[in-house]
Structure 1
Amino acid sequence: MKHIIPKTLAALRVLFGLVLYGWVREAPVGRVKRWVLRALSRKALRPVAMGAGASRSYTLQPPSSFVVASPAFVGMAPVITEGRFPEVRAHLVEDAVVSPYASGVVQGERLLVPDIILKNRHRHSTDGGNLYWLGQRNCVGRIIRQETVAEGLLIGGAGAFNWYHFVMECLPKAYLARGLPEEMKDWPLLVPEECIRVAGFEHALKLFSGDRPVRPVPRGAAVQVGRAVTFDEVNYGPFNLYKGSWPAPDDYCQHDDTLRQYISVLRAGLLGSELRPKPVRRIFLVRPATRRNYNQDALVEIASRYGFEPHAPEKLPLADQAALFADAEMVIGASGAAWVGMAFCATGTRMLSWLPREYSGFCCYSTLAHLLGHRMQFVRAIPDRLLKDTADAFDHSYRLDEGDFEAALQYMIDGK
């Protein structure tokens, strides 16, 4: 009993803190709220555009067109959305608290965030990397002890611990860093700690870091930087959406020119410049049974009758992953980070994936496939329960109708 009471009291304190924090996040800013936030090691922040807090900005890429392609379900054409993406800039921000797991930085009582995130805050929920919380009405920062560095280039963003977010959203910033002024050539890259813990992250970063020093920052930690360089987003989609909203093509945009240039360098670094044999392999991207489980074994068995081999790319060295995709004429797999590998596929590779009805406007992988000239189609996934929001969909289990899957497979093989 003497051990139970302290544990119960500790749990109640945590619960009370969470409830109180939830209240102050949504409450109007006032004296009481500021006092409570300080007691919780938090403070109210005023969100402003990154450029407004920068002492100087540098144009790294001119404006570009972009094309967003919605998922094309079998037998249907994608919905194409076209637009203009603004110039891409780097920003010199002084006395900033940063984390490579967030796109925004804290400067005093302000949160400096990329324009595109600020513009979409009413609909999109971003990840502040344990440094801040940015809501539809309020913004709250976390007061944490930081190490101090004189200079650094922030190579990160929401979800930087995830392979897709790192390679397709964060790492292009290291590519853009090549265009910074000469006096910044020795400034270190501030990167997520996965870049020293996970071999694939480390290898990918080395393709772009050059001679710059690399400083990993753990999740949950932050760094006070005297002179920090941040970068505009070049590949944007919502990290999450607020309850009641589902992905739509208008949620996505990217700087097509920058992404093509970046992927070209990435491919050359891993595959070289020599011509490769005509792709002939058929691969099925399998995933571990940790979340978003589905009837994978049954689908692998069906696909094997058509010559598809199961592969888990994340278990291979990065160069071997690239070669696997480069040798594939067809790729099948669940929606997920393994589809980064399409960057190494030959133009025109045929692909098949699946999504639930609520994700008919989820344009992340379909747009990347369109940018690279691939032929990607989708079938319907059937969730095992009603989906409440995008955060719920992140973990849900589902199944595919095996007859529909095989029909879609034959449709792809026939080249339709």
Structure 2
Amino acid sequence: MAAVLNRLAPYIKSNEYLSNPIKKALYNYFYRPNSKIIKIFDIDRCRQQAVQKIFEKSNFKNYLPKRLNTEERCIETDVPEVFIYQFEDAYISIASSAIWVKDHLITYRSKGERFNEGFVTAHNNMDAKVVLKETEELEEGFFLGGNGSWNWFHFMIEMMPKMMLFDEKYTRTIFVNEIVLKIPSMQTILEIFTKNRFTVKYLNQDKTYFVKKVYYMNDFNHIQFNRFDGQIKADGTFYNAETIRRFSDKIIENLPEKTGLPTKLFLYRKNTHRIASNQDEIMDYLKEFGFVPVCLEELSIDEQASYFKNAEYIIGISGAAWTNMIFCRNHPRAISFVAENAESFTAFSNLGRIFDVDFHIQLYNNNGLHSDSNFIINFEDFKELFRNINGIQ
């Protein structure tokens, strides 16, 4: 029997056949107890586990980025009801937004969204393949992880604002990705919202945790982490503007402000990915207008916040640095260079609307490789866009 199953293993492990009853049964028999194929439950089917309603269902005006010679457009996006849920005897992975309870994987999905991160190695629309890695048992806590919990944008926009709404009467322990310990800016933000209120438990993203009682809040700010079709789209993007403004205000109130900083910023990239081969040419042109290069990865969070708070103009290549628009208070103009396959990505254009940033994009060709460097930004198109925004003939 084992020899037969070994020959079948590559076949039954493929995504295409996850929901085939026979292959699913064979897989669960052969790979128990370390891996299983289980049914996906949308979290709105778990209302019996809800302990508090946070927000009613609503609609969000999802604004597509402005471009030269194009009309600004928005699409209506459905926002789900938001609850605090309590799950017992659950498995979690700090790198996954899903919760594994009994024989169900509980998660939120927007159209076309893919979430195979952490202990979820594959899924289709009905079933998911989950893997129990090294497992540790925990008593209780509030889950503040998820897909992209290691990323500045997802950490700041999707996860940390939940601390504005979570009541410590449920638990005084929170679970976060241990990568926060390595990133001073994340540490600072976490301390602002947990100091004298919560104990932080840092979870290893290579482990699975069995939690006797875990509290979970579904997203009120949400951006698709990945898609089945590999595209980068507006689908599934929504924000709660009032909460994210209050979140931003609290951070600014708790950070020392730097003064005397330049107000025209070029977000210069180095020692990272997504670097244009002609970014120096653009920077040299902008110096004539008083711009200075700023490498945010070299700055503390209070310096980053101060730069954006006082900025009058921000130009740079798209990336997590644009998350810092939440600190803008000076109604700046902005130009972000965006890959062609991300022209309808609305995460930053919506932040611009919320924080009064006049946000524009210019596309560049990257052959569909979103993170690659050595692409070229069309310099003449940039000058035309820059002159148009500034009323320069």
- TM-score normalised over the length of structure 1: 0.83
Instruction: Note if 1:200 corresponds to 2:185.
Output: yes
Preserved CA contact (<8 Å) 1:151 1:227: yes
Match of 1:166 among 155, 159, 164: 155
Distance in 2 between residues matched to 1:249 and 1:100, nearest whole Å = 25
Which residue is equivalent to 2:4?
A: none
Q: Secondary structure at the match of 1:174?
A: helix
Match of 1:283 among 229, 245, 265: 265
Distance in 2 between residues matched to 1:234 and 1:189, nearest whole Å = 18
Preserved CA contact (<8 Å) 2:15 2:123: no
Instruction: Note if 1:398 corresponds to 2:380.
Output: no
Q: How far 1:21 moved relative to its partner?
A: 6.9
Match of 2:52 among 43, 49, 58: 58
Match of 2:164 among 175, 179, 183: 175
Q: How far 1:185 moved relative to its partner?
A: 4.4
Which residue is equivalent to 2:130?
A: 141
Structure 1: gaps (5+ residues) = 1-15
Instruction: Note if 1:354 corresponds to 2:337.
Output: yes
Percent of residue pairs bearing the same amino acid type: 20
Which residue is equivalent to 1:209?
A: 194
Distance in 2 between residues matched to 1:277 and 1:67, nearest whole Å = 35
State which drifts further: 44-53 or 158-167: 44-53
Q: Secondary structure at the match of 1:400?
A: coil
Which residue is equivalent to 2:280?
A: 297
Which residue is equivalent to 1:10?
A: none
Cα 1:141/1:320, change in 2 over 3 Å: same
State which drifts further: 69-78 or 230-239: 69-78
Cα 1:250/1:219, change in 2 over 3 Å: closer
Cα 1:127/1:265, change in 2 over 3 Å: farther
Preserved CA contact (<8 Å) 2:91 2:101: yes
Distance in 2 between residues matched to 1:411 and 1:396, nearest whole Å = 27
Which residue is equivalent to 2:27?
A: 36
Q: How far 1:302 moved relative to its partner?
A: 1.9
Query: Which letter maps to 1:237?
Result: I
Preserved CA contact (<8 Å) 2:41 2:104: yes
Summarize the alignment of residues 13-412 of structure 1 with structure 2, pairs less than 5 Å apart: 19=10, 22-23=13-14, 26-37=17-28, 39-40=30-31, 41-53=34-46, 55-63=49-57, 65-82=59-76, 85-114=79-108, 117=109, 119-120=110-111, 123-177=112-166, 180=167, 182=169, 184-186=170-172, 188-210=173-195, 211-243=197-229, 246-270=231-255, 281-295=263-277, 296-383=279-366, 386-387=367-368, 392-395=369-372, 397-412=374-389
- TM-score normalised over the length of structure 2: 0.88
Count of residues paired in the alignment: 382
Q: How far 1:344 moved relative to its partner?
A: 1.0
Superposed CA deviations along residues 58-115 of structure 1, whole A, max 9, x for unmatched, are 112345552211010124332122456344211001111112221111112110113x
Q: Secondary structure at the match of 1:288?
A: coil
Distance in 1 between residues matched to 2:265 and 2:237, nearest whole Å = 28
Cα 1:185/1:202, change in 2 over 3 Å: same
Q: Secondary structure at the match of 2:246?
A: helix
Distance in 1 between residues matched to 2:15 and 2:116, nearest whole Å = 18
Query: Which letter maps to 2:348?
Result: Y
Preserved CA contact (<8 Å) 1:68 1:249: yes
Q: How far 1:223 moved relative to its partner?
A: 1.4
State which drifts further: 44-53 or 17-26: 17-26
Superposed CA deviations along residues 289-320 of structure 1, whole A, max 9, x for unmatched, are 53223122222222222211111112111111
Preserved CA contact (<8 Å) 2:18 2:128: no
Distance in 2 between residues matched to 1:203 and 1:346, nearest whole Å = 21
Q: How far 1:271 moved relative to its partner?
A: 5.5
Which residue is equivalent to 2:3?
A: none
Poorly superposed stretches of 4+, deviation over 4 Å: 16-22, 37-40, 62-65, 276-280
Distance in 2 between residues matched to 1:372 and 1:415, nearest whole Å = 25
Query: Which letter maps to 2:154?
Result: H
Cα 1:18/1:348, change in 2 over 3 Å: farther
Query: Which letter maps to 1:49?
Result: D
Q: How far 1:212 moved relative to its partner?
A: 0.5
Q: How far 1:348 moved relative to its partner?
A: 1.7
Superposed CA deviations along residues 219-253 of structure 1, whole A, max 9, x for unmatched, are 2212111110011111112112223x634434322
Structure 2: gaps (5+ residues) = 1-6
State which drifts further: 366-375 or 302-311: 302-311
Query: Which letter maps to 2:319?
Result: G
Query: Which letter maps to 1:168?
Result: I
Q: How far 1:162 moved relative to its partner?
A: 0.8
